[in-house]
A and B are shown apart, each in its own frame.
Chain A
């Protein structure tokens, strides 16, 4: 439940950032796939149902935020989320390089699906070049690297802080006096 809450919070944050980038720096918003990044990171830390649900939700939100055809990014993120979750169940994703590879593959798969659907359904005049797709994969993976580093740093800082407070009294701060505060 807590993880679902964290995902919803992260999804809201990504949507907000995407909207801001779309208004201020549209080129950056088009180049970095923040929603895919969120979907992959959510999937590698959970089971396939979580990956599927997260991908579906993130994709639909992306469709709404980017004003594209409803379901376009939904399908792509759904496939990426479910696929990343299934893959992460079979390989060790504790190493950062594996997670980055999953992110890169996820972005690539997402782009392929989106471009394929656009071509089949002739939804809009959107025909990115191979270089644009490659740039999106590289930049999103780079952002993912930053996010992973920041997350690890925060986790380490939190653990250190929790450990320090526990060492002062032998008990957590919220357990002083033998009762909950």
Chain B
């Protein structure tokens, strides 16, 4: 018999004996098959994973390149807008110089913890825990904002706590304006706890849902430009003015911190007209 045939016979004999062995322990037969099959499957999985990774990397890279290009374009437009703003500011400074106009001083902000919020009852207020080293300051009528926009104003303070009248309270009034048209009105709270009302805007004024409403800085309390909310509906109910509803920009259901503006309010006497001016 040739050596090749003997070799084949040898392979057959070993295979038969191994099969005989695995048959005697069938629970291990699967393990033995896995022992041979496992590395092959692992190799296939590794190769497949590598191919998938390469493919994924290519698609991710293409998406990143697109996004990068888009961001570059946006950066260019923002840079040009910023340059225009800087130019306008320089121009305004140059023009205001002969008029001796001085802009109001900037206020600094004090961070305070909100320890109590009641934004759904009759009196919608929040209580702040004031900073420790500010015990002797007069907190009354100071604006309170969050990172999202206007929250309200301080109505009373005691030791290290201050009560804030929320902008959604019906007793709250804020001088406001539509950012797009600069048209001014008064924002007040409504019976609905999550809605504000913009009042005293005549019917001929251009107002659209989606317009942003900011503080106008004309009420002697709030600084100009703080976001109040976004107009959700504009209706006319036969009156002279629009019936405008606003969604507040501050989510009153997720308050944790607020900022109290250290900005001197107008003196009470001037606000009340008791400054000695007689008509």
Contacts and interface: CB of A to CB of B under 8 A. Distances in A.
B13 A78 contact: yes
Interface stretch (B3-11, B112-120, B178-186, B265-273): B3-11
Given A52-B13, A75-B17, A78-B13, A70 B28 contact: no
B278 interface: no
Interface string A136-150: 000000000000000
Interface stretch (A27-35, A117-125, A157-165, A170-178): A117-125
Contact of A75 (B3, B6, B14, B28): B14
Contacts, number: 58
A12 interface: no
B254 interface: no
Interface residues of B, number: 19
Interface in B1-44: 1, 3, 6-7, 9-10, 13-14, 17-18, 20-22, 24-25, 28, 31-32, 35
Interface in A46-95: 47-49, 52, 56, 59, 69-72, 74-75, 78-79, 82
B6 A121 contact: no
A82 B13 CA distance: 11
Interface of A is mostly: helix
Nearest to A124: B25
B30 to A, nearest CB: 11
Interface of B is mostly: helix
A125 to B, nearest CB: 13
Contacts of B13: 52, 56, 78
Contacts of B25: 69, 121-123
A70 B32 contact: no
B25 to A, nearest CB: 5
A47 B1 CA distance: 10
Contacts of A120: 28, 31-32, 35
A144 B169 CA distance: 107
A117 to B, nearest CB: 7
A42 to B, nearest CB: 15
A79 B7 CA distance: 11
Contact of B28 (A48, A79, A121): A121
A180 B8 CA distance: 45
A75 B18 contact: yes
Contacts of B22: 121
Given A70-B20, A71-B24, A121 B32 contact: yes
Contact of A71 (B6, B21, B28, B32): B21
Contacts of A117: 21
Interface of A: 47-49, 52, 56, 59, 69-72, 74-75, 78-79, 82, 117, 120-123
Given A70-B21, A123-B24, 4 more contacts: A52-B13, A75-B17, A120-B28, A120-B35
14 contacts: A48-B3, A49-B6, A52-B10, A56-B17, A69-B21, A70-B20, A70-B21, A70-B24, A72-B21, A75-B14, A75-B21, A120-B35, A121-B32, A122-B25
* Closest 5 pairs (CB-CB, A-B): A71-B20, A71-B17, A75-B17, A71-B21, A48-B6
